[in-house]
Amino acid sequence: MRNLEVNYLSPEEAETIRLIDVEGLDQLGAAKKLEISRITVQRIYKSARRKIADAIVNAKAIKIEQNNFVKYCRCPKGRRCGCKNNLLRGGE
């Protein structure tokens, strides 16, 4: 197993797969949960599915990348704007 090629999923791809394929949300529901547009969810989901399918068909490993840095914030208005209010750290 250690000699397998690896397909890396971003945390966003893994979360999108979880919300749609495991939790059963549609793309609009996942977009609302992630606070991003449905089109962005569609793009992320397509990328993740392509990587997973490639791994299955071509016997590759799948690894989820870690995201331990401050990525964005949640301001009091509930939007992710990048200011320094209520920091949201990767994995939280």
Three-class SS state of 86: coil
Does pTM surpass 0.85?
Answer: no
Question: Over the stretch 17-61, which tens digit does the pLDDT of each residue have?
Answer: 999 999 999 999 999 999 899 999 999 999 999 999 999 999 999
Q: How is 4-63 classified by DSSP, letter by letter?
A: S-EEEEPHHHHHHHIIIIIS---HHHHHHHHTS-HHHHHHHHHHHHHHHHHHHHTT-EEE
Q: Is residue 85 part of a domain?
A: no
Q: Is 40 within the bounds of a domain?
A: yes
Within a domain: 16: yes
Q: Which structural domain range is residue 16 located in?
A: 6-66
Residue 53 lies in a domain: yes
Structure tokens, 53: 């399918």
CA distances from 48 to 9, 17, 31, 32, 44 (A): 7, 7, 15, 19, 6
The pLDDT value recorded for residue 67 is 65
Whether residue 78 lies inside any domain: the answer is: no
Reported as a single tens digit per residue, the pLDDT across 22-32 is 999 999 999 99
For the chain, the domain total comes to 1
What pLDDT is stored for residue 90 in this prediction? Answer: 41
Which CATH number do you get for residue 41?
1.10.10
